[in-house]
Every structure is written in structure tokens, then in C-alpha cells.
């Protein structure tokens, strides 16, 4: 059996007095891909932000490799190998592609390691290498998304949390982004992927959790989800 990298137990969290996540529990084993799906505004982004330490847990625990993440500050969570690729990229538009990528390596003091990671990001995204001096603000939506993923890969990662990588992109570009994600999966990386569109996740995730109104209302293998039309219709409109 593979070891659990991430373990959530009875996690609840929200903003002020408003509880958004209720009693969330799941495990992510080494090298697996977990997909989190659910309608807009039902807590998927909040879940990733709570794991990363941006939102405080009101109860429950979050463990990474058996050590507590609960209560840690975002930079401490990042230092333990949690790589967050947020919704909408959050790249630095007034910095070049090269500078944006180096920002991803801020926790890595060894220049040789940084150079090695940069070379592997450029191998994965040759376009970023060609345009490394270009300002990030001039990139297309798909290129920005690639830069966001590339920046995440500049750090040592135990787990990657990827928030709606297909958001706002043309279908052909979504295809390219998912080719990249499949490559990351084939490298054996452990990934939690949030998507509103279940069809993408069914193709990619080993296990799926459906969040509705801040609670897990269904979980199972991707193949079971395709067979269970009720789930798709009830929660995601078919």
C-alpha cells in the first residue's frame, strides 16, 4: 500500500462566522491524483486555501507526511513541499517570464538546484524558454497558465494543489494544459486538482470527491462517476 502524503480529518473552515467547509476528511496517497469537483462557490478554492494556510481551520486537522500543517503560516506550509497553483495564475505581470519563474524558487538557496529546475521547466515548456525575457503581461491566457504551473515546478514538491487550470481557456488550450498535467502525473507526482468541469477530472484523477455546500457528498473512482449519472445531474447539471 502506498503511503498517505496528505490527510484531512474532520476539517471545517470559513470566513469570520461563515462556515464554508464542513467536516472534510480524505487522504491522498503518494503518486495519486485526487480530483475535487463541485458547483461554483461551494468551497473548492477555500479547501485548497485552508490546506495552504491562507484560511484558518476552525476544527479538524491537516497532515502532510504525518506532520501537522494545521495552524501553520502559508510560508511554513510551502516550505514543507506544498506547491499551490492558484486559480487565475497570480503571476507577476510586470516581471519577465524568467523573473516570474525565479520567484517560484524563493525557498531554494542553492543556485545549481535552481538552474536544474529551470532547465526542466524549459524542457516542459519550450515556449517559456524562447520568450523568457518577455513581460508576463504580454502572454496569452494559456501561456500564463503554463507560467503558473512552471513557477510551481521551481520548488521541491511533496504535493501539488492545482486550482481550476482550465478556467477561461479555449478547448484546444485546455487540451495542452491537460497534456502537461498528464506528464506531471506520469512523473509520479502527487496532485490535488480542483475543477468545476467533471469531464476533465474523470479522465485524469484516480479518485474523485464531490463537494456540495462545503461537504463531501460523494466520493469514488473516476469510472464510478461516469456510471453514476444521478450524481452528475443532481449536483452538476448533467
Q: Does 45 bind ligand ATP (CB under 6 A)?
A: yes
- The distance of closest approach from Cβ of residue 123 to ligand ATP in the complex, given in angstroms and rounded to an integer, is 31
Q: Interface mask (CB under 6 A) for ligand ATP, residues 61-80, using x and -? A: --------------------
Among 44, 117, 185, 200, binds ligand ATP (CB under 6 A): 44
Q: Does 190 bind ligand ATP (CB under 6 A)?
A: no
β-pairing, 159-163 with 4-15?
A: unpaired
The residue count for binding ligand ATP (CB under 6 A) is 11
Q: Which residue has the cell 523573473?
A: 99
Cα(205)–Cα(187) distance, integer angstroms: 14
Give yes or no for a contact between 206 and 221, defined as CB atoms under 8 angstroms apart: yes
How many Å apart are CA 80 and CA 82, to the nearest integer? 6
Check residue 40 for interaction with ligand ATP (CB under 6 A).
yes
CB-wise, 46 or 70, nearer to ligand ATP? 46
Nearer of residues 6 and 20 to ligand ATP, judged by Cβ: 20
Neighbours of 174 (CB within 10 A): 18
Q: Select 40 or 186, whichever has its Cβ closest to ligand ATP.
A: 40
Residues that bind ligand ATP (CB under 6 A): 15, 20, 38, 40-46, 196
Amino acid at each position: 500500500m502506498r503511503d498517505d502524503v496528505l490527510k484531512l480529518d474532520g476539517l471545517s473552515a470559513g470566513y469570520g462566522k461563515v462556515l464554508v467547509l464542513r467536516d472534510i476528511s480524505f487522504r491522498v496517497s503518494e503518486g495519486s491524483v485526487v480530483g475535487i469537483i463541485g458547483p461554483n462557490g461551494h468551497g473548492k478554492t477555500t479547501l485548497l486555501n485552508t490546506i495552504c494556510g491562507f484560511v484558518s481551520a476552525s476544527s479538524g486537522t491537516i497532515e502532510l507526511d504525518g506532520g501537522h500543517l494545521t495552524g501553520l503560516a502559508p510560508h511554513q506550509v510551502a516550505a514543507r513541499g506544498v506547491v499551490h497553483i492558484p486559480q487565475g495564475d497570480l503571476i507577476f505581470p510586470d516581471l519577465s517570464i524568467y523573473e516570474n519563474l525565479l520567484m517560484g524558487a524563493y525557498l531554494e538557496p542553492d543556485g545549481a538546484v535552481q538552474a536544474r529546475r529551470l532547465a526542466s521547466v524549459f524542457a516542459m515548456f519550450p515556449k517559456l524558454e524562447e520568450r523568457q525575457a518577455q513581460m508576463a503581461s504580454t502572454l496569452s491566457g494559456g501561456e500564463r497558465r503554463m507560467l503558473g504551473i512552471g513557477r510551481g515546478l521551481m520548488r521541491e514538491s511533496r504535493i501539488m494543489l492545482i486550482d481550476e487550470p482550465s478556467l477561461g481557456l479555449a478547448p484546444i488550450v485546455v487540451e495542452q494544459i491537460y497534456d502537461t498535467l498528464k506528464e506531471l502525473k506520469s512523473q509520479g507526482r502527487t496532485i490535488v486538482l480542483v475543477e468545476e468541469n467533471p469531464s476533465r477530472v474523470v479522465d485524469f484523477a484516480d479518485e474523485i470527491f464531490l463537494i456540495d455546500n462545503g461537504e463531501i457528498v460523494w466520493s469514488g473512482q473516476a469510472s464510478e462517476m461516469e456510471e453514476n449519472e444521478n450524481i452528475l445531474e443532481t449536483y452538476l447539471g448533467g
